[in-house]
Amino acid sequence: MGKAKVYLVGAGPGDPGLFTLKGKKLLERADVVVYDRLVGDEILAMANPEAEMIYVGKVSGRHALPQEEINALLVAKAAEGKSVVRLKGGDPFLYGRGGEEAQYILEHGYQYEMVPGITSAIAVPAYAGIPVTHRDATSSFAIITGHEKPGKSESSVNWKEISTGIGTLVFLMGVENLGFICERLIENGRDPGTPVALIREGTRPQQAVISGTLADIVEKVVQANFKPPAVIVVGEVVELRQELQWVEKLPLWGKRIVVTRARAQASALAEGISELGGQAIEFPSILIKPEEDLRPLYRAFQSLDKYEWIIFTSVNAVDIFFNELISQNMDIRELKGIKICAIGPATEKRLVGRGLRVDSIPDEYRAEGIIEELKPRIIPGQWVLLPRARGAREILPDSLHKLGAHVNEVYLYEAITASKVSRESLEKILNGNVDYLTFTSSSTVTNFVKIVGEENVAKIAGQIKVACIGPITADTAKKMGFTVHITAEEYTISGLLQALVEDSKGVI
């Protein structure tokens, strides 16, 4: 990516899955990110960790930075020879003042590039089950600013033309002027019975929809205390929502679920929650800290030919083991003839990705399952290499010793307490503003308690359902004072997601 260039990037309507691939690529490589209020944390987390992050958000009547200063800021950062991503909600050229910023950049001798975003004017109604066009309803639609203030001497909106000449009307930034909008449409010939929908937090798990007609929608919005920002849709297509609404039917729709896994491992669970309609609140309680002294592992590398088995009990162990193997100018050919055991399908998948075939996976994905699986296969006197986490339970090496095996237990990493946490997420948890708290290992439990404080466990336990990936984790949670509501029958991320879905069916 070239320096001294400003990229005007649309972040889309809110769902991070609707952010463009090109936008993500530019964000990952940017030197400076200048972002607006409606850009979500999940998208901001994609930014280059070394990038300078500058907030310039605007709320009605209150701007973090006036537009003129934003323009000057973009040019000033480009003048420093930096690549600048100007990140805007929706699309920069649709009521995003992107055109003004582009002109200013060019006038001052710098290059800009436009990266469109999916506009909320189409995506938000779609997530509410409202197509802006439909062959049985209308073949025309218009996007209109709802921000125009009543009492202007000259309106920029041709109310007479749009009121009866266009099928679907989509108003952006119009909640505060809803009464004025409805009045103007009715005055200019639109049927007072025309369906209207307001969609707040569209495409997000917090999405809320309120429907009515031009005649009664204002009263309904007031009664429901329905706050902006929201997209307003006017037209017969609104009635299709009764048939086409889909996101609210997802099994975890609207559920707020805390993910306590290490950030590097959280993606599978967070993505699964999002795909099922829930909101994943990432609150990593652990960090994976590789061992500083890996000489015991290097010594094991030098005598690999004596081992009959290598047992991998985590994805982390796989990654560190093979990264270090390569760092020692060795590769998987050194493992020829050694049998490989993986604790579960996720670990197996990572091993297969490394070019290895797994010989054994237990039916029960924990240490006890490995022992049952290997009991008839371990011959006394055989050597077993066990690369794993410091602090892991001793049942596995102890049981292998009892089977007559020689076990070389090598520590590769330690799960330590995360030092940086989101204060906003912590407040949500302490105030009970989430539905589920998930734990995927005993270390996520113990380190979570260190972060929130033992004195807060009872408060959290009384307000939030706790879901654990398996019985060992559940036992740890109980010992720490939690009430465990859900324990996955299959000790995997998929199993945990399924358990959440089953439980949510009974949650109102």
The count of other CB atoms within 10 Å of the CB of residue 17 is 11
For the stretch 174-222, pLDDT in tens is 999 999 999 999 999 999 999 999 999 999 888 999 999 999 999 999 9
Sign of the torsion formed by the C-alpha atoms of 345, 351, 356 and 360: negative
- Percentage of the chain exceeding pLDDT 90: 84
How far apart are alpha carbons 125 and 131 in whole angstroms? 6
Residue 131, domain CATH: 3.30.950.10
Contact 217, 198 (CB under 8 A): yes
Shared domain check, 128 and 241: yes
> Do residues 403 and 497 both lie within one domain?
no
Please report which confidence band the pLDDT of residue 264 belongs to, taking 50, 70 and 90 as the band edges: confident
Can 450 be counted among the known catalytic residues? no
Other residues' Cβ atoms within 10 Å of the Cβ of residue 235: 27
Backbone angles phi, psi at 411, to 5 degrees: -85, 130
Contact 85/26 with Cβ under 8 angstroms?
A: yes
What is the SS3 string spanning 216-227?
A: CHHHHHHHHCCC
1 falls in which pLDDT band (50, 70, 90)?
Answer: very low
Tell me which of 38-47, 103-112, 164-173, 431-440 is least confident.
38-47
Q: Indicate if the pLDDT at residue 343 is higher than 90.
A: yes
Spatial contact of 118 and 203, defined as CB atoms under 8 Å apart: no
Instruction: Answer yes or no: do 405 and 309 share one domain.
Output: yes
β-strand pairing of 383-389 with 406-417: parallel
Q: Read off the CATH number of the domain in which 458 is found.
A: 3.40.50.10090
Q: Report yes or no: 262 and 284 within 8 Å, Cβ to Cβ.
A: yes
For residues 276 and 424, state if they share a domain. Answer: yes
- Burial of 75-92, coded b for 16+ CB within 10 Å and e otherwise, reads bebbeeebbbbbbbbbbb
pLDDT band at 45 (very low <50, low <70, confident <90, very high): confident
CA–CA separation, 501 and 508 (whole Å):
13
Starting at the edge strand that comes first in sequence, how are the strands of the sheet with 111-115 ordered? Answer: 52-55, 32-35, 83-88, 5-10, 111-115
- Pair 428, 409 in one domain: no
Residue carrying structure tokens 């959280």: 266
* In a shared domain, residues 279 and 423: yes
Which residue range(s) make up the domain with 23?
5-118
pLDDT bucket at 508, cuts 50 / 70 / 90: very low
Q: Are residues 173 and 279 in the same domain?
A: no
Q: Is 58 a catalytic residue?
A: yes
Average pLDDT over residues 43-67: 83
Higher pLDDT, 507 or 356: 356
* Residues 109-127: tens digit of each pLDDT: 999 999 999 999 999 999 9
From the number of C-beta atoms within 10 Å of its C-beta (0-12, 13-18, 19+), residue 53 rates as middle
Assess whether 312 and 406 both reside in one domain: yes
Q: Are residues 395 and 298 in the same domain?
A: yes
Residue 221 is predicted with a pLDDT of 97
| 126 and 176, same domain (yes or no) | yes
Domain match, 445 and 490 both: yes
Q: Report CA torsion sign: 23, 27, 30, 35.
A: positive
Domain boundary among 398, 417, 436: 417
What's the whole-number average pLDDT of the chain? 93
Catalytic residue among 24, 46, 53, 58: 58
Question: Annotated catalytic residue: which of 173, 255, 435, 465?
Answer: 173
User: Within this chain, do residues 192 and 230 fall inside the same structural domain, yes or no?
Assistant: yes
> What's the CATH number where 97 sits?
3.40.1010.10
Residues of the chain with pLDDT > 70, as a percent, come to: 96
**pLDDT tens per residue, range 358-417:** 999 999 888 999 999 999 999 999 999 999 999 999 999 999 999 999 999 999 999 999
Residue with tokens 């299709």: 240
pLDDT of res. 86: 97
pLDDT score, position 105: 96
- Domain edge (last residue) among 85, 118, 151: 118
Q: Does the annotation mark 36 as catalytic?
A: yes
Structure confidence by residue, pLDDT tens digits, 220-254: 999 999 999 999 999 999 999 999 999 999 999 98
Of 118, 139, 169, which marks where a domain is finished? 118
Catalytic residue from among 15, 36, 91, 435:
36
pLDDT at 421: 83
Count how many domains the chain has.
Answer: 4
Q: What mean pLDDT is predicted for residues 263-292?
A: 89
Residue 448, token pair as written in the block: 């979570």
Q: Tell me the pLDDT tens digit for each residue of 455-477.
A: 999 999 999 999 999 999 999 99
